């Protein structure tokens, strides 16, 4: 009897061990499932954060877009002031100086064709072909910015420059550039090309407190914009990257080099004949002779 009891006891013990093994396996399986669940929870949190960030960006962009000015009024109205003019006035006040502003509005018919061609070839040769943004030039500028680690000047069409001058600051942030692209699109969809060019020629900076080509012609050459020669137009166009530094009286090597290049371009696209181009080159040398170059290239103003 005792032996049978012993056998039953041993038999019961042997049955308990496999059960313990199964319990361990089940526990391990549950642990693996819990592990998988925790990973899924982390991925879900990341997706949620990304979604919230994206929605926040959409809201911010939509808010900024709604706040940007409308270009339609410019179809018939000339702006009384611009963001650039206000910025220059503020800079003057901070420096304890009286802000200077000279400007006279003129139509395209009252601007020398040579001067118009010079500005177009210098600043935006594809002006009448694109819709506000030169995508190829923009791509090149972005690649250059990635290499240098900062935004530089370049790729800005006349429409983009007008948008910046009218409504934005001169900083080089990506946000400002984004606004510039949106506003350039608004200008292009609201105004004909000739109106955009007219606005640009009348508000662009051409020296300290000098705005527009009429004021620029009188300031630097003592004549009206309608009387500008090819050489004078090329010189004015060459000032635009840094108009407060590259005046005809500055002795700038960069200004002279650029002016000669513009005349070459005008000849290449048949805006000037060979003899006219030779005369323009000689006139540039005559106008800019006798100066004292500082031997350095000026850093360009921001876009």
For 43-71, the pLDDT digits (tens) are 788 888 877 776 665 665 566 667 899 99
Q: Confirm whether pTM is higher than 0.85.
A: no
pLDDT of residue 130: 93
pLDDT of residue 135: 76
Selection from 103, 106, 60 nearest residue 81 by Cα:
103
Listed as ranges, residues in the chain with pLDDT below 50 are: 1-39, 291-303
Beta bridge partners of 103: 211
**What pLDDT is stored for residue 138 in this prediction?**
65
Identify the pLDDT of residue 26: 45
Q: What is the C-alpha to C-alpha distance for residues 78 and 104, in angstroms, rounded to an integer?
A: 11
Q: Is the dihedral of CA 109, 114, 115, 116 positive or negative?
A: positive
- Residue 142 is predicted with a pLDDT of 62
Rg (CA), the chain: 34
- pLDDT at 61 (0 to 100): 59
Q: Under DSSP, is residue 102 helix (H, G, I), strand (E, B) or coil?
A: strand
């Amino acid at each position: 009897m005792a032996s049978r009891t012993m056998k039953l006891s041993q038999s019961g013990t042997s049955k308990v061990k496999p059960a313990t093994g199964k319990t361990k396996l089940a526990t391990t399986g549950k642990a693996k499932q819990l592990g998988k669940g925790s990973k899924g929870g982390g991925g879900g949190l990341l997706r949620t954060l990304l979604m919230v960030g994206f929605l926040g960006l959409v809201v911010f962009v939509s808010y900024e877009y709604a706040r940007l000015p409308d270009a339609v009024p410019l179809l018939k109205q000339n702006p009384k002031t611009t963001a650039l003019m206000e910025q220059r006035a503020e800079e003057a006040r901070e420096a304890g100086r009286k802000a200077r502003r000279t400007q006279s509005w003129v139509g395209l018919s009252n601007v020398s064709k040579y001067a118009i061609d010079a500005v177009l070839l210098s600043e935006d040769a594809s002006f009448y072909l694109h819709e506000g943004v030169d995508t190829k030039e923009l791509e090149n500028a972005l690649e250059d910015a990635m290499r240098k680690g900062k935004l530089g000047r370049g790729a800005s069409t006349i429409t983009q420059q007008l948008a910046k001058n009218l409504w934005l600051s001169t900083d080089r942030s990506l946000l400002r550039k984004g606004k510039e692209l949106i506003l350039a699109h608004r200008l292009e969809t609201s105004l004909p090309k000739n109106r955009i060019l007219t606005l640009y020629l009348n508000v662009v900076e051409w020296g300290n407190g000098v705005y527009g080509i009429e004021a620029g012609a009188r300031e630097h050459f003592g004549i009206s914009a309608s009387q500008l020669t090819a050489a004078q137009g090329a010189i004015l166009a060459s000032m635009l990257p840094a108009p407060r530094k590259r005046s005809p009286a500055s002795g700038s090597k960069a200004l002279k080099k650029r002016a000669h290049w513009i005349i070459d371009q005008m000849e290449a696209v048949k805006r000037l004949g060979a003899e006219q181009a030779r005369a323009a080159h000689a006139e540039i040398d005559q106008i800019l002779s006798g100066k004292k170059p500082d031997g350095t290239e000026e850093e360009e103003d921001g876009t």
